[in-house]
Structure 1
Amino acid sequence: MSPAARSAPRAAGAADWRDVPIAPVVLFFGPEDFIASRAVDGLRKKLRTQNPDLELTTLDAAGYTAGRLGMIASPSLFSEPKLIEVANLASMTDDFLIDALAYLADPAPDVTVALSHSGGTRGKKLLDALKAAGAPRIECLALKKDQDKAAFVGAEFGLAKRRIDAAAVRALVAAVGANLSELAAACQQLISDTTGMVDVDAVDKYYGGRVEATAFKVADAALAGNGPLALSTLRHALATGVDPVPLVAALAMKIRQVARVHSARGSSAQLARDLGMAPWQVDAARRDAGHWTGEALVAAIKALAEADAQVKGAAKDPVYAVERAVTLIATSARR
């Protein structure tokens, strides 16, 4: 066994997907393909840095036939270190389960096996054996909360030694945050194509036309009580093909955030922890809350619930429904 493999941590548990430890066997577990791909790529680069002659082999556990793993892991003529990347553990054959359990009991020297499992309980016997053996487990989970996506953006810029302000992070997540690979690509484009601090104007230049970004522009103007800007932005969005549903969703999310912080006390960091929001979201919601009374918030929430039903089929004219909701919100907010 190589010194690097011997020095790998043996304690079971999740490891950071951005810094995968080298070990005889590593498990990449979870449904987020982008994170899994980046994590496996990071491990591959680490191993190649140690030995440029690394021999790479890929296997599909779903189509695996008996004996392949042992044959590939066996020493080659020149004894080059090996990386065996195995995909589709969630659909593994019985032959793979048998061979993998046997391999785990006696891993080959100078070989790293990277196992990718999309989640669930398929192959539980192997998953339990990996845990018992102390194999590093890399969680590859989807980032569903905006605060997690914001942290992802911050980390991407931090790794590139670049800065992006909080408002720009928020705009970028709003614009492309539905898909993590797109969000990562957007970060890389801004890092490559801009200099200095990345601000909202830079994000708007590249991604301002996205549906989500347009929806949040409408919401921001409405909650600030700027009716003319909210309606003109809304009509432009509708004229360029933006569906009313995400527009209402953006308004509802913003209103809910304002309602949550409206009477709350404490620091932004404390409220972020208590409310499950990012500190910058708390700060933005507090700024908007200054335009609102409790009674106006209740009326806006009711109007948005009605508008949500209407744009999803309860009304013949969803465009009128969203315009009415935007107008009510903008006129209810204090300038």
Structure 2
Amino acid sequence: MLVTGTEGLLGERAVAGLVAAARDRDADVEVTRLEGAGYSAGALGIVTSPSLFGEARVVVVEGVEQATDDLMADALAYVDAPADDVVLVLQHGGGQRGKKLLDAVRASGAPVVVCEPIKKDADKVAFAAAELRRAGRRADAEALRALVEAVGSDLRELAAACAQLAADAPADSRGVIGPAVVARYYGGRIEATGFRVADAAIAGRTGEAVALLRHALATGGDPVPLVATLAAKLRVLAKVAATRGRRGGAADLGLAPWQVDRALKDLSRWTPEGLAEAITAVAQADAEVKGAGRDPVFAVERAVLRVASAAGR
């Protein structure tokens, strides 16, 4: 079995799930783990060789993307003649190293589990909801969005935040975790995040946007992702604006319903000219924070001011 992809948390969970399934079938199954980077020739043959007592075995090879040439050769030979009583799990963290082996595993018809990063906000919200559900807890949509905005794109951090909320957070009368609870636990992070800066700027709240921006920068925020977040918010507005009045148009944008609803609400205060002006300002800031300008901090602050002033014009 091949577990491949750059999202380490999902890869680890996939492997753990396979091992757990094997143990459910046979509590005495033997589990062996090998490291790709430190592999020595012949080790795979030893752990997969016929057993005297015929017990089932699971062999997990971690870090195949860093594997030695010896592992590549031994694993390729094993794929051609796999053992009947052994489940071999190859965990590959992404990249071109080991491509020949990965192609051979796929060609053999062995199961493949793909663990790529979760990039869309809607998918992160769904992931957080599933994490809480696994722990027997629930959160409303606003709380889930606030949690994703606070924690950011790191899936491990998001999973850890869900675990903390599941263990410690009080629920309301419906048994649901609300946004006030998320703010209590992660409020400091939410207040400094680029999402809050972008929301304030798009709403035309100039003073709040600049204050949040300066706080974010003072606490270690990088101008590059701050500008990227502002650009992402404006792209959503532009996409939704382009589909207004067209039946089914918004559903084809690859956005969650809540993103479309929020964008429609924000667009009530924007004109096409103001939106074009804001997008141009952010495009200029994007170039400046990536080397075209001398002062990235000044560039992002000027962009926030221009976006906020363009709202409502």
TM-score (norm 2): 0.84
Q: Indicate how the Cα distance of structure 1 residues 232 and 32 shifts in structure 2: closer, same or farther if over 3 A, else same.
A: closer
Please list the CA deviations of residues 155-177 of structure 1 after superposition, one character each: whole Å capped at 9, or x if unmatched: 32333343333333333233323
Is 1:221 the counterpart of 2:196 in the alignment?
Answer: no
Q: Indicate how the Cα distance of structure 1 residues 29 and 227 shifts in structure 2: closer, same or farther if over 3 A, else same.
A: same
Q: Structure 2: state its 5+ residue gaps.
A: none
Is 1:119 the counterpart of 2:98 in the alignment?
Answer: no
Once residues 293 and 266 of structure 2 are traced to their aligned partners in structure 1, the CA distance between those partners, rounded to angstroms, is 30
Is 1:152 the counterpart of 2:117 in the alignment?
Answer: no
The amino acid across from 2:256 in the alignment is: A
Further displaced range: 192-201 or 176-185: 192-201
Further displaced range: 253-262 or 291-300: 253-262
For residue 260 of structure 2, what is the aligned residue in structure 1? 282
Further displaced range: 316-325 or 141-150: 316-325
Is 1:257 the counterpart of 2:270 in the alignment?
Answer: no
Q: Indicate how the Cα distance of structure 1 residues 156 and 234 shifts in structure 2: closer, same or farther if over 3 A, else same.
A: same
Once residues 231 and 97 of structure 1 are traced to their aligned partners in structure 2, the CA distance between those partners, rounded to angstroms, is 54
Once residues 296 and 3 of structure 2 are traced to their aligned partners in structure 1, the CA distance between those partners, rounded to angstroms, is 44
**CA contact 2:191–2:212 (8 Å) conserved in 1:** no
Fraction of identical pairs, as percent: 55
**CA contact 2:227–2:286 (8 Å) conserved in 1:** yes
TM-score (norm 1): 0.79
Q: Structure 1: state its 5+ residue gaps.
A: 1-25
Further displaced range: 318-327 or 35-44: 318-327
Please list the CA deviations of residues 244-264 of structure 1 after superposition, one character each: whole Å capped at 9, or x if unmatched: 443333222212211211141
Equivalent pairs counted in the alignment come to: 309
Further displaced range: 306-315 or 35-44: 306-315
Is 1:291 the counterpart of 2:272 in the alignment?
Answer: no
**CA contact 1:59–1:84 (8 Å) conserved in 2:** yes
Please list the CA deviations of residues 68-87 of structure 1 after superposition, one character each: whole Å capped at 9, or x if unmatched: 22321234454432211112
**CA contact 1:61–1:89 (8 Å) conserved in 2:** yes
- Map 1:174-213 to 2 at 5 A: 174-194=149-169, 195=171, 196-210=175-189
Once residues 302 and 98 of structure 1 are traced to their aligned partners in structure 2, the CA distance between those partners, rounded to angstroms, is 53
Choose which of 54, 60, 65 in structure 2 pairs with 1:90: 65
Once residues 120 and 202 of structure 2 are traced to their aligned partners in structure 1, the CA distance between those partners, rounded to angstroms, is 22
Please list the CA deviations of residues 32-53 of structure 1 after superposition, one character each: whole Å capped at 9, or x if unmatched: 2221111101111122222222
For residue 103 of structure 1, what is the aligned residue in structure 2? 78
For residue 68 of structure 1, what is the aligned residue in structure 2? 43
Once residues 162 and 218 of structure 2 are traced to their aligned partners in structure 1, the CA distance between those partners, rounded to angstroms, is 29
**CA contact 1:174–1:213 (8 Å) conserved in 2:** no
SS of equivalent to 2:165 = helix
Q: Indicate how the Cα distance of structure 1 residues 267 and 278 shifts in structure 2: closer, same or farther if over 3 A, else same.
A: farther
Shift of 1:301: 1.4
SS of equivalent to 2:243 = coil
Q: Indicate how the Cα distance of structure 1 residues 233 and 51 shifts in structure 2: closer, same or farther if over 3 A, else same.
A: same
